[in-house]
Amino acid sequence: MDYKLLGKTGIKVSELCLGTMTFGTDWNFGSDKQESQRVFDAFCNAGGNFFDTANIYTTGTSEKYSR
């Protein structure tokens, strides 16, 4: 995994970002908790540390799963 500096913060983030909008099935589609965890773990194991999540994604479920 390659990393970039986040502005002038000194924080290095992965060039790839994992979007979590479909973590959870609240919208009648997406990944259940077990599958979401597998995706999350695979991304972290590959060196990823940059995630896109929001409290409106699957009514907040994506943030609960992404802890």
Residues tagged active-site: 57
Tally of CB atoms within 10 A around 10? 7
Listed residue (52, 1, 49) closest to 23, CA to CA:
52
CA distance 66 to 37: 8
